Amino acid sequence: MRLRPLVAAAVAALALAACSPAGPDDAPSGEGATTVTVRLWDEQVAAAYEQSFDEFTRQNPDIQVQVNVVPWKDYFVRLPLDVAGGTVDDVYWLNSSNFGALADGGKLIDVGRELADEQASWVPAAVEQYSRSGTLWGVPALTDGRIAVYYNKAMVEAAGVDPDNLTWHPADPAADTFLPAARKLTRDSAGRTADQPGFDPGAITQYGFNAARDLQAIYYDFVGSNGGRIQAEDGSLAFTDPKTVEAFSYLVKLVNTDHVAPSAADTNDNPDFSRDQFLQGKMALFQSGTYNLKNVGDGATFEWGVAPLVAGPQGRVSVVSSVIAAGNADSPRRDAILKVLRWIGSEEGASYVGEEGAALPAVTAAQQAYFDYWEGQGVDTTFFGDAGGRATIPAPFGPKFEAASTAFNPILNEVFAGRTPVAEGMQQAQDAGNAALR
């Protein structure tokens, strides 16, 4: 599930805090039952959870479950405020950028101890990702698999592009098959492609690709595929690694020089802009994860397919991440919370998510239902697995990564906007981020 950290104004954050959903002390209950509230950011999974929790309550009539959806763009702005204010839900989703500080602060139930008998049934990589100080701090709920490329079949066929065999190279134009393809896939209002004379970058009607300041779908993967890194082993930022700077330079050039991707003015503060362009038939290649598979499946009105991640000089290197359902250690409903967490981490509880194709469960035994759903829809999901490559770059880690991203994202915004030279901006981003990590 998505990792992308967010930028939001403090004013917005305070406003949002005033309209937080029901917290642990005011959760509704009926007929004498205890109500456990569950917070997440995905509407598709929320719908599947509603069905799952109906069955849970049928089996546990003394516990009701209320699902609260907070939009992704607000989620990690609101969460720390609600945790600090004691109004956060009994169970809430966390990504790897945000769980460390809450675990260290004693805000999460020790799942490693309380549900030790269940750990063998969860995806090992997810257990490892969310283990800290010798224990596991949430029930692995979803796993993303690898990043891949959604493509518009009519657009790639018209341009003569094979989306399964694209490679970018920052230093060897002869080895770069991706940029020529992206140019052929980008059109202006007169129908000229970006590789034709007279192409007007001010009147683009069809983008080739979604290069942007998108941590999970774009820049982690380009950096990894170039042999670079985002964090050193000690967790400090490594933005000035030459291979990392090279990858960012290539991405920024796609936006501002080659004009094959939307401008940073559209994408810096709207993480779903590129997805919406793809769904509206205005983008040919959309690199993303399983977290958008249901959105594409439900929203696209044209024929589409899934191709492997664009390869780089080091091959196809993807970031792979999972999401946990964490228990609120401060809630007075601890026993009921543990029953809900055990259900979320069970094959039966997680099967509703897989059967709806909403997301790939991190409960190993429940995953086949997800693959079966998409096979039934005629969608080949193999490139989200090993067929799309096996090399990975580590997901963000460390208790203060979110604080670091809050510091460096405004600088990266300027880099992607072309207002700050890449090498200069990467140094600034590294300095600001590492200062926040201290």
Question: Hey, what CATH topology would domain 146-320+382-437 get?
Answer: D-Maltodextrin-Binding Protein; domain 2 (3.40.190)
- Angle 357-363-364 (CA atoms, 0-180°, nearest 5)? 95
Tens-digit pLDDT profile for residues 67-109 = 999 998 899 999 999 999 999 999 999 998 889 989 999 999 9
Share of the chain above pLDDT 90, in %: 79
In this predicted structure, the answer to whether residue 160 has a pLDDT above a threshold of 70 is yes
Tens-digit pLDDT profile for residues 388-425 = 998 989 889 888 898 999 999 999 999 999 999 999 99
Q: Which two tokens stand for residue 183?
A: 């140019």
Q: Is the pTM of this model over 0.85?
A: no
Mean of the per-residue pLDDT values of the chain: 91
Residue of higher predicted confidence among 73 and 12? 73
In this predicted structure, the answer to whether residue 10 has a pLDDT above a threshold of 50 is no
Q: Which of 25-39, 121-135, 218-232, 288-302 has the lowest mean pLDDT?
A: 25-39
Distance CA 94, CA 76 (A): 9
Which top CATH class is 34-145+321-377? alpha beta
* Domain spans, the chain: 34-145+321-377, 146-320+382-437
189-197, long-range: CB < 8 A, 24+ apart: 193/159, 194/258, 194/259, 194/260
The arithmetic mean of pLDDT across residues 4-16, rounded, is 31
In this predicted structure, the answer to whether residue 28 has a pLDDT above a threshold of 90 is no
Distance CA 367, CA 356 (A): 11
Distances (CA, A) of 204 to 172, 188, 300, 345, 438: 27, 4, 20, 46, 44
- pLDDT of 31: 60
Assess whether the region 34-145+321-377 and the region 146-320+382-437 belong to the same CATH fold.
yes
- pLDDT of 22: 41
Whether the Cβ atoms of residue 212 and residue 287 lie closer than 8 Å to each other:
no
In this predicted structure, the answer to whether residue 117 has a pLDDT above a threshold of 70 is yes
In this predicted structure, the answer to whether residue 19 has a pLDDT above a threshold of 50 is no
- pLDDT of 5: 36
- pLDDT of 8: 31
